[in-house]
Amino acid sequence: MILSEKMSRQKLTHTVQGLNSETAYIETMSASIKIGRIFGIPIYLHFTFLIILLLFIYVFGSQSLTLMGITLGFGDIDASVGVKYILGTIASVIFFATILAHELAHSYVAMRFGVKIRSITLMIFGGVASMEEIPKKPMEELKMALAGPMTSLAIGGVSYGLMISLDLLEFDADLEGVVILLGIIAFYNVLLAFFNMLPAFPMDGGRVLRSFLAARMSYIDATKKAVSVAKVLAIGMAVFGIFVFNLFLVLIALFVYMGAKEEERATVISESLEGMTVRQIMSDAVQVAHPDMTVQQLLDLMMATRRMGYPVVDYGLVGIVTLSDTSKVQKDRIHITRVKDIMTRNVVTVKPETSAVEAVRILSQRDLGRLPVVDDRGMLVGIVTRKDFLRMVEIIEARRKGTVSVVWGQPGWDQQGKPPQQPPHPPQY
């Protein structure tokens, strides 16, 4: 399963309110532990992974079911309960190792196309490869999406071949557990491959479907059609899960539905801002604070302008101060404490030529509400906030749909509904 780290409108709104991704993206790092690196990619275990791992250990160790000549579980072998659960543990760990191999296959192919992999996380729904972006060329996305299922099919095929080979030979009872283990790995990897090929985001089949559609229509239209298919499948999966009283299937359906919505939002954000720079979105009339202002004067300024943060300027940008910074000051000291005593000095900035997509990524990764914009001399020329990006995306989407017939304050917008490049005006001091 692949998730993009692009910011979606939902995530932007969440962070404005004080809300990976992911998302394209689902944020899991805070509840995960790092277990190592492979190909330079951090590997994490989410706490929910322990739930599904224990469930698999119990099922493999206590149950036994034969399907298509494959025995799934060690429940009926002639061994003690302890040995059965040890074998169940081994089978579970190996199976989840193959899920990791599935995600590594996605990641390896993506890296070949220049995509940065943030992490791979094993969780209750399997594995998630978190990427900064998804390749937009249909053939690249197709190859990346197919890499995981093909790896699972290969593992399943080899395991099944070994199982058949041992089964045809005359082996003693000591090898019965090995045959069952190979059968479990074969069956569940083939099942994993086919399940992931369902045409539903964020599963691999949804990306395969989009890659085919994107070769015939725009990337946004292809995404929206693929997402529509994913939503229908998720609803059907949920109804079936309720009918057969399978809560886990309902949870997967919910995950697929939400993942599909997030993918659509992330794509709209990235496509709307594609090719745009911070200069086209920033506000160049910037209200600033001075480092020698008192906290009381700062609070009065916030009350008057209804803003919660300001660049701090003294012959150039020297810091940034927000409402949360004022909470560090005791009430009886707000008349004597200066802004320079509470401001943040190491300010993350962007330039007017910085791409809008990169600026959004910085806001997301640094959990910031605003970014001062500086020129090559380090002088403040503007500021850009989360709300600025949300507003721009909404306007571009409205223009693309034809629901806005007048130009938003500027002549010269292009046919995609994007504003012209405008030189910045000096900020207000």
Q: Which residues are catalytic?
A: 103
d(CA 116, CA 32): 20
Question: What whole-number distance in Å separates Cα of residue 163 and Cα of residue 184?
Answer: 10
How many CB atoms sit inside 10 A of residue 179's CB? 20
Find residue 294's DSSP bridge partners. Answer: 338
Q: How many CB atoms neighbour CB 177 within 10 A?
A: 18
